[in-house]
């Protein structure tokens, strides 16, 4: 962990990345996972999400597993991938169930797999429990990578202390995760600037960092990007890009620099 103080500045230039992301609505849209995970989300709402994802060219349309096939059909030919949550939102699903879910949604057209790690095992804090957490993630990663998909591991940072966040990040990275992700949005808190900075410090250039939970405005998104996020999950994606589109382009550098 001694390299954390310099990993991100030497390898991942968060300021340059954020400035590029915020230079146009199109660039920003390409980093936003347009998300609808409410338990009462209807078919028409999922189809609207997909329509918006295709219109704005978001990074993906993120849905619950039951809607993957619907979303994949709606997005066919658009080039916008389908994202799906696995073991959501508690992470306490059997590893075999997470693998089964992953295999099934891959066949139905999912590309972004956002899985919740086993938080209780992580907190149990024995070598065997840490290994079980890693293997749980690895089982999903191997299936996803074999199917040409990517995996974002949800740490649920609001439930972890500093050392647990570091441990969870390293376990996820060692298991092959493509992204470290802060939150489900269904627990006691969402993404924070401090947590994004911490996760980027651990990840360096090894993986992406996804901020999710409570990001509802351009100011929120900008703060996360400057802290080191390279992907943002939000249900307010359309509002966020419209905010950027409506901002005076000549004032953009000064305003983004203040976040």
pLDDT tens string, the chain, 259 residues long: the values are 333 333 443 579 999 999 999 999 999 999 999 999 999 999 999 999 999 999 999 999 999 999 999 999 999 999 999 999 999 999 999 999 999 999 999 999 999 999 999 999 999 999 999 999 999 999 999 999 999 999 999 999 999 999 999 999 999 999 999 999 999 999 999 999 999 999 999 999 999 999 999 999 999 999 999 999 999 999 999 999 999 999 733 343 332 222 1
Tell me whether residue 114 is one of the annotated catalytic residues. yes
Tell me whether residue 98 is one of the annotated catalytic residues. no
**Domains, in order of start, for the chain:** 4-257 (3.20.20.70)
Catalytic residue among 112, 181, 195, 220: 181
Radius of gyration of the chain (CA): 17
Q: How far is CA 131 from CA 54, 109, 125, 156, 183, in A?
A: 40, 30, 10, 19, 22
Catalytic residue among 98, 152, 165, 210: 210
d(CA 228, CA 217): 17
Q: Where are the beta strands (DSSP E) in 79-127?
A: 82-86, 110-116
Catalytic residue among 33, 114, 178, 220: 114
Tell me whether residue 210 is one of the annotated catalytic residues. yes
């Amino acid at each position: 962990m001694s390299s954390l103080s310099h990993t991100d500045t030497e390898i991942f230039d968060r300021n340059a990345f954020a400035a590029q992301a915020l230079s146009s609505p199109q660039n920003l849209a390409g980093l936003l996972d347009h998300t609808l995970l409410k338990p009462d989300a209807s078919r028409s709402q999922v189809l609207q999400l997909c329509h918006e994802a295709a219109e704005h060219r978001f990074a993906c349309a993120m849905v619950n597993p039951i809607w993957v096939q619907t979303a994949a059909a709606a997005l066919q030919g658009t080039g916008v991938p389908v994202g799906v949550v696995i073991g959501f939102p508690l992470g306490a699903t059997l590893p075999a169930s997470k693998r089964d879910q992953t295999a099934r949604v891959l066949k139905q057209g999912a590309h972004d797999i956002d899985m919740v790690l086993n938080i209780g095992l992580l907190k149990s804090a024995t070598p065997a429990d840490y290994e079980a957490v890693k293997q749980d993630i690895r089982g999903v990663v191997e299936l996803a990578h074999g199917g040409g998909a990517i995996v974002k591991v949800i740490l649920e940072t609001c439930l972890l202390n500093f050392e647990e966040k570091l441990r969870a990040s390293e376990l996820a990275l060692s298991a092959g995760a493509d992204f470290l992700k802060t939150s489900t949005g269904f627990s006691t808190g969402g993404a924070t600037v401090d947590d994004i900075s911490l996760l980027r410090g651990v990840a360096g250039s090894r993986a992406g960092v996804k901020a999710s939970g409570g990001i509802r405005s351009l100011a929120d998104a900008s703060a996360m990007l400057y802290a080191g996020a390279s992907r943002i999950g939000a249900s307010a994606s359309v509002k966020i890009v419209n905010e950027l589109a409506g901002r005076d382009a000549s004032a953009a550098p000064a305003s983004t620099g203040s976040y």
